[in-house]
Amino acid sequence: MKSNQSSFMEHWLLIRIEGFKQQELLSQCMKKNIPLRQIKIKNNIELTMRVRQEDFDLVKKLGKNKYRFTVLSEGGYIPLLSGLLANKARILGIAIFLFIVYFQTLFVSEIRIEGYEGFTEREVRQCLRDGGMFEGSRKSMDLEKLKLYLYDKLDNVAFVGINMKGCLAEVRIVEGTINLEKVDKSAPCHIVADREGYVERVTPIEGIRAVDTGDYVNKGDILIAGNIPIQSTTYGQPENSLTERYVHAEGKVTARIPYWFVYNQSAYERVKKPTGKFFYTFQVQLGEKTLSTEEIYQPYEVSVKEELKTVKGLRPFPFSFSVAKVNEVELFSRERSREEMEKQVNKLIRQEIKEKLPKNTQILNKSLYFTNKKNIIEVAVMIESLQEIGMEQEIVIGENAERGAETGNQ
């Protein structure tokens, strides 16, 4: 039995019927259980109504030759699909639209960072970029690996959470608390050297000086002693009877510490000289795919590329377009001067000092020694620095202290 319920998916026709005795035709359709909708009687010989396409032939059969039937319009999924399939440009546009919608879901369009206090947002974003996450990067990355990278690069981080919500990356950072250890001023200790060096100055606040200026000390040598010998004044004790008093040694000790570095410098430098010839190249990047005209056309054996203009965007998907100028150059070599090598070595030394020496280090002297080895110049550098070298070391009171205490009680 046919359903009389209307459906968006059904194929329907809006028809016009012209002829006399319209009520007779409507009655016959109702007897045949034909659904009729939107019946509009305009006059005695004309009416319009909507019927299903599958019932149209039956309505015409019931009307026989008494009426003239005209299809005014049609609707439903079949006409809709037919119209779409007949318009290739429309199909292509819909396909491109669906592709763009899908393609932009593959990339991170926004990064939201929460919870940081000890870092700037720029530092966190740069760390994320170094780990592989930035606006325009693919979402299919190893988030656990990225978390480990953040733990390693950001100091004092207790928790890192990364949650992907569509194209939005939510990064939450929880910083740990630093528990400062309280120094027990009542515990006896020595001030000992934490590295090797030549003693420059000893300034005891508590305790007695154990080394002289110019002495070479190794790591662990006592600089300021926390055990102070005292003369016994007990009645009946010999005048030369000594005992010890233990204190929490305090003070400042500085030492001269030398460092040696060796750098190899090329005796000759390769110089690029422009010939005056050039051409322009274009590069288009969609996501992680890159197309450059330079890969198709490159007439020069040696060239230098100069970026002129770059346009970037994230919507509807990550893209960039850049224009560059490719200049042809000629290569030739020239001998480097001593001043150029010294300038380059000094730059390397500053980086070494920044990375390897403590922040409070004072540089006293710097010497460079050049040795010619064929086409390589070996540069030996000696740096003399002034640093604090003292650290606390707890005194373990042993048999000597117990013996001194017993002597004092006799």
Helix extents (H) in 220-272: none
Question: Are both 134 and 170 inside the same structural domain?
Answer: yes
Question: Are both 36 and 74 inside the same structural domain?
Answer: yes
Q: Is residue 303 part of a domain?
A: yes
Q: Is residue 47 part of a domain?
A: yes
Q: Is residue 4 part of a domain?
A: no
pLDDT in tens, 8-54: 567 788 888 888 888 888 888 888 888 888 888 888 888 888 888 88
pLDDT of residue 231: 64
pLDDT in tens, 306-335: 888 888 776 666 778 899 999 999 988 888
pLDDT of residue 1: 40
Q: Is residue 6 part of a domain?
A: no
Range of the domain at 197: 189-256
CA atoms within 13 A on the CB side of 214: 0
The fraction of the chain above a pLDDT of 90, given in percent, is 22
Using pLDDT thresholds of 50, 70 and 90, give the confidence band for residue 405.
very low
Which domain-ending residue is among 311, 333, 355? 333
pTM over 0.85? The answer is no
- What is the full DSSP assignment across 157-177? EEEEEEEEETTEEEEEEEEPP
Question: Are both 282 and 231 inside the same structural domain?
Answer: no
Domain count, the chain: 5
More confidently predicted of 136 and 236: 136
Question: Are both 316 and 353 inside the same structural domain?
Answer: no
Q: Is residue 182 part of a domain?
A: no
Question: Are both 352 and 306 inside the same structural domain?
Answer: no
Q: Is residue 250 part of a domain?
A: yes
Question: Are both 355 and 340 inside the same structural domain?
Answer: yes
3-class secondary-structure state, position 180: coil
| Mean pLDDT of all residues belonging to the chain | 82
Q: Is residue 35 part of a domain?
A: yes
Q: Is residue 148 part of a domain?
A: yes
CATH number, domain of 75, equals: 3.30.70.340
Q: What is the average pLDDT across 372-376?
A: 84
- What is the full DSSP assignment across 271-300? EEEEEEEEEEEEEEEETTEEEEGGGT----
Question: Are both 250 and 276 inside the same structural domain?
Answer: no
pLDDT in tens, 256-310: 999 999 999 988 888 888 999 999 999 888 766 788 888 888 888 888 888 888 8
Q: Kind and range of the H or E element at 52? A: strand 46-52
For residue 57, what are the β-bridge partners? Answer: none
More confidently predicted of 266 and 399: 266
The total of other beta-carbon atoms located within 10 Å of residue 143's CB is 16
Question: Are both 318 and 371 inside the same structural domain?
Answer: no
Question: Are both 146 and 193 inside the same structural domain?
Answer: no
